Amino acid sequence: MSYPANVTFEGDYIKLNRKIGKIYCRRHRDFEGTIKTVTISKNSDGKYYASVLVDDGLDKPEASTEGKAIGIDLGLTDFAVTSDGSKFDNPRHLAKHQQNLKRKQQKLSRKQKGSNTRKKARRLVAKVHSKISRCREDFLHKLSRKIVNENQVIAVENLNVKGMVKNHKLAKAISDCGWGMFCTMLKYKAEREGKTYVEVDRFFPSSKTCHVCLNQVESLPLDIRNWTCEHCHTNHDRDINASINIRNEALRILSLGTSDTANGGSVRRLGGKISCLLDATPNEIGSPNYIACN
């Protein structure tokens, strides 16, 4: 439910309108500026949340590309691997809470339909789900904050998460790790600070290209974590090599600036936002780029 402007905060209370009156709330931060709308939502675990849209009156800073650039390869083994060689482990929240969830789901399934104990059990299941998503969001916020603080240009692959989730085997792991949410966070955090967020087309062969000599290997099964380029003999960590390629590709796109075409692809610049489309190359089986075609 949405409430327009006349919402006020008084100490620890939120006042939605005259009819509802004051409600106790826990605030995460103070707001500066004028409140636009307040949206109240109820989680399945029975908790109410109010998200407050505030206009701080500040213009978005002009995006700049002067400074450190980073490429990020998103994966399942490690959640994120960066072009400067850092690996961030996937916290696997679901796996950790899986046992607990399973137990509570079993309990729920044994309750009689329509009973009060069933209602209670359902709420317990919802509570675990809610805990998992809050843990996940916390991890994503902290990591995106760190990356945006330390870099000026942030490059990721434009992942077709929806397409990948159709691949049933990977679906659970992918929807658990929150790549889409992570990219959204990187994007708005970067834009708010005049930094540049770039998505490289998902068909760009970031894993299979040697970042040193640009030689491309034919295939690179997912279980191969290290490989040696047969052309320049560089030994590559699969994911670090991919993230360096993502960074380099983003810098190439940025250096094209406002020009219309490059390598048969196109680059558009829309008010600081950059979107690009490059030539499609075949799917790489097993990589996060891979989209099952059935």
Contact segment (CB under 5 A) with Zn ion among 78-86, 115-123, 203-211, 261-269 equals 203-211
Alpha-carbon distance 120 to 11, whole Å?
Answer: 33
Q: Which residue has the tokens 């994503």?
A: 140
Pairing of strands 153-157, 69-74: parallel
From candidates 213, 280, 285, 292, binder to Zn ion by CB under 5 A: 213
Instruction: Mark out the alpha helices in the chain (DSSP H runs).
Output: 93-110, 116-150, 161-165, 168-177, 179-192, 238-255
Measured in degrees and rounded to the nearest 5, phi and psi for residue 73 equal: -100, 125
84 is catalytic: no
From candidates 215, 275, 281, 283, binder to Zn ion by CB under 5 A: 215
Query: What is the number of other CB atoms lying within 10 angstroms of the CB of residue 243?
Result: 31
* 100 touching Zn ion, by CB under 5 A: no
* Closest to 162 in 3D by CA, of 153, 174, 147: 174
Q: Which residue has the tokens 């929240």?
A: 93
Nearest to Zn ion of 147, 246 (CB atom): 246
Site size toward Zn ion (CB under 5 A) is 7
From candidates 232, 277, 280, 285, binder to Zn ion by CB under 5 A: 232
239 is catalytic: yes
Spot the catalytic one: 199, 201, 239, 249: 239
Contact residues for 51 (Cβ-Cβ < 8 A; gap 6+): 38, 39, 41
Contact segment (CB under 5 A) with Zn ion among 25-33, 167-175, 184-192, 227-235 equals 227-235
* 229 touching Zn ion, by CB under 5 A: yes
Contact segment (CB under 5 A) with Zn ion among 7-15, 120-128, 232-240, 276-284 equals 232-240
* 216 touching Zn ion, by CB under 5 A: no
Alpha-carbon distance 168 to 174, whole Å?
Answer: 10
Instruction: Reduce the DSSP state of residue 286 to 3 states and report it.
Output: coil
Which residues between 48 and 77 bind Zn ion (CB under 5 A)? none
The least CB distance from residue 75 to Zn ion, in Å, is 21
The least CB distance from residue 214 to Zn ion, in Å, is 7
Nearest to Zn ion of 213, 292 (CB atom): 213
Nearest to Zn ion of 5, 213 (CB atom): 213
Nearest to Zn ion of 144, 209 (CB atom): 209
Query: What is the number of other CB atoms lying within 10 angstroms of the CB of residue 239?
Result: 22
Spot the catalytic one: 73, 199, 201, 249: 73
Find how far residue 277's CA is from the centre of its chain.
Answer: 20
CB 44 within 8 A of CB 30: no
Contact segment (CB under 5 A) with Zn ion among 45-53, 75-83, 149-157, 214-222 equals 214-222
56 is catalytic: no
- Show which residues are catalytic: 73, 157, 239
Which residues are near Zn ion by CB under 5 A?
210, 212-213, 215, 229, 231-232
